[in-house]
Structure 1
Amino acid sequence: MLKPYIENINKIKEEITNIGEEISHANKISLSALKENDSSMLKDVNLSMKKLSSKSTEIDNLIVKTLALYSPEAKDLREMVSFLKITNELMRAAAYSKAFAKSFRKAFSPELDAEAILEYAIPLLKSSNLALYTAIEMVKEDDEKLIEEKFNRVLVEDSKTDDLYAMIEKNILKLITKNIELSKDYFEVLSSLRKLEKVSGRASSIANLLVFAEVGGDLENT
């Protein structure tokens, strides 16, 4: 395989990983805020969508340039198509992560039952970010067995986020029946936590795309 082609692929993987790690770092700040029960810490979540969008466009342009210059076949072509879709998934994950930090900080008032909310919100955020981080680890992985292992780990964490969100939704609905006057705040908290479930969903999509790149299959189902 041509050296310039390999260099381009490595550059694409590196830049995709950098975006993913930036989003994951922002989520870790959010996790610390929840663990400390200090929503003011969420102000430190600084995800510039403009900056990330610019980086994503640069990656897409490099992918298109590589496709045009080297006309990859089979597995290499699947990989390039997957990368094009992954940049979009990462932008969506970034938007959800940023929206969570902003909306949760505004909605999480002292009048709410913090213990009941954080009991499931903390593990929800932890699983959501672990799913994203593991999916990003798959980008630079070449070993098919390790890709499969990490893919399964992403699916496990994504399933956890679904279960945890269902639990916290049930808890919050109970709290609302006891404190109707706080229903708006509780619903806004619930809405913000839904963003974490969506981050996990984007991680699952990224993992599926990377499996498609490695082994093929039906892209419509990824």
Structure 2
Amino acid sequence: MLKKEEEKLNQIKNAVVELNILALETTKDVIGCLNGNNIECLKDIKISAKKAHSKSVEIDNMIVTAFALYHPEAKDLREMLSYLKITNEFARIIDNIRTFLKKFTANYTKDIEKDQILEYTTPMVKSCYESLLAINEMIALEDDYEAIEKLYQRISIEESKTDDLYAMIEKNILNAMNMNTELSLEYFNILSALRRIERFADRTLSIASILMFAKTGKELEQL
């Protein structure tokens, strides 16, 4: 790889990490509010979809420029193309966080079963946070295929945890809706908000899958 091409690839990777940090910092703020049982605090969390979109466009333009100037070889081409897909996944994650915050805070009223909801919501968000941390580690690694695969498996486990937690809280919320029909709309909207966290987890696993292919050339069925 030419020195300038290597520098450009590193710039792209650093920009992707910056995009991930935007999601990481917001997710950490959400966890802090949930741990303190402070739902009002969630209303103060600001996440800029515009900023995330601008960063995604910036990364995409960097990649297109690298294609035009350097004609990267197979491995570098594969990695750059992967980052094009990853920026789209991060945009979805940011949107999922924003929608969760909006729906959750609007429907978390004094009459619903708060403790039960937080019992599942907090670990769901924490799993997403752990996955984002692992994604940053994956981006930084080169040629250590065993470490990359371990990080992928770590993210896969966190995603499975989120799925299991969502399935449990979904069952509990549906039961609560049947017992408190006057609060059905609030419970339904809370469930819809939590669905966004489950999708958040799905997106982190998608990013991990893309990075696995980018770094090792392995499709998932080869693992």
Map of 1:56 onto structure 2: 56
Identity percentage over the alignment? 45
Aligned length: 220
Map of 1:175 onto structure 2: 176
CA contact (8 A) 1:82 1:213 kept: yes
Query: Distance in 1 between the 2:54 and 2:43 partners?
Result: 23
Query: Distance in 2 between the 1:137 and 1:103 partners?
Result: 31
Query: Amino acid of the residue matched to residue 161 of structure 1?
Result: T
Query: Amino acid of the residue matched to residue 184 of structure 2?
Result: S
Map of 1:194 onto structure 2: 195
Unaligned runs of 5+ in 2: none
SS of equivalent to 1:19? helix
Query: Distance in 1 between the 2:19 and 2:42 partners?
Result: 20
Q: How does 1:148-167 map to 2 (within 5 A)?
A: 148-167=149-168
CA contact (8 A) 1:100 1:192 kept: yes
Query: Distance in 1 between the 2:219 and 2:147 partners?
Result: 21
Map of 1:121 onto structure 2: 121
Map of 2:186 onto structure 1: 185
CA contact (8 A) 1:132 1:199 kept: no
TM-score (norm 1): 0.95
Moved over 2 A (4+): none
Question: How far 1:200 sits from its partner (Å)?
Answer: 0.7
TM-score (norm 2): 0.94
Question: How far 1:34 sits from its partner (Å)?
Answer: 1.5
Query: Distance in 1 between the 2:154 and 2:49 partners?
Result: 28
Map of 2:204 onto structure 1: 203
Q: Which string of whole-angstrom CA distances, capped at 9 and with x for unpartnered residues, describes residues 13-51 of structure 1?
A: 111101111111111111121121111111232111111
Query: Distance in 2 between the 1:191 and 1:39 partners?
Result: 17
Q: How does 1:57-96 map to 2 (within 5 A)?
A: 57-96=57-96
Q: How does 1:37-48 map to 2 (within 5 A)?
A: 37-48=37-48
SS of equivalent to 1:33? helix
Query: Distance in 2 between the 1:4 and 1:213 partners?
Result: 20
Map of 1:30 onto structure 2: 30
Q: Which string of whole-angstrom CA distances, capped at 9 and with x for unpartnered residues, describes residues 114-143 of structure 1?
A: 111111111111112212231232112112
Question: How far 1:213 sits from its partner (Å)?
Answer: 0.7
Question: How far 1:185 sits from its partner (Å)?
Answer: 0.3
Query: Distance in 1 between the 2:182 and 2:83 partners?
Result: 47
Question: How far 1:215 sits from its partner (Å)?
Answer: 2.0
Question: How far 1:218 sits from its partner (Å)?
Answer: 4.9
